[in-house]
Structure 1
Amino acid sequence: MSSVVTVQRQPGVLFLCVHNAGRSQMAAGWMRHLAGDLIRVFSAGSAPAETLNPAAVEAMAEVGIDISEAEPMVWTDQMASDVEVVVSMGCGDRCSTYPGTRLVDWDVADPAGQGLEMVRAVRDEIEIRVRGLVDDLVSDSDGVTEKRK
């Protein structure tokens, strides 16, 4: 005789951009800051840079979020298959779709090579989008519950 047990599972989000040095790192920083331990957070890039964008690090520090220790990394199919949502920012066709994973494309300007004012604007736009995603994931019980026999 088997019984059904409901297990709470944290939803996971993977933020992707080309270099994993600016947009995706800022989005991951915002998500960790806003959601704490409620959501598993990952970020990666299709062609990772050697280091983070210094202006992105500075812009996030201005709002009390430290992303300085993050390291750009390449995304893998395994990363994407382990999360419920993949957020793409500028990856275009390089971001595949994965069964059971929601792919969201955010049209956010690339802060690479831009001044601090532009990076601040990108940071603020990302914050608004991340807040909406946090609200969506935390209130969506289907996204956080899985049934096991």
Structure 2
Amino acid sequence: MSTSKVVSNLLNGMVHSIRSVVPVSIEHSNPSVLTVPYKQDQIAVLIGMTGEIKGNILIDGGKQHFSSLGHTMYGMHLEGDMLVSFIGEIGNMIAGNLTTYISSEGVEMDITPPSVMSGEATLHNFKQAIHLPFNAAGIGQFSILVSIQQ
């Protein structure tokens, strides 16, 4: 499968996955391609992709936005260890949904367990990545970064 087809499938799958998992209206900005390290400054979840597509998925947002998402989904604000656990699980849900979508397109892909990162961190060692910022209505801004290893 060509790189442009893989990128197109990943973008379509990410939008589909976000809309399937997040229970509010989603508005996404135009995706962009990053070739420089990505800096996240609050909290994010990192999930590896294996199989025919290798790389990483990073879902980045503010603690208050993830907590609000938890409140919207489960009726309670989350903090501390519960918030960290929820961020890992929401990443798992979105990445798992993406895997199902990509598989329906005939591409074998699997995901690794999520790793939650808090504080400032910079993601290096990718040639290029797709950056897709999105706004969850009434919750806030998030970013998804999908890096593909060639």
Structure 2 length as normaliser, TM-score? Answer: 0.25
Question: What TM-score results when the alignment is normalised by the length of structure 1?
Answer: 0.25
In our comparison, the structure showing a higher alpha carbon Rg is 1
- Which protein has the bigger strand share? 2
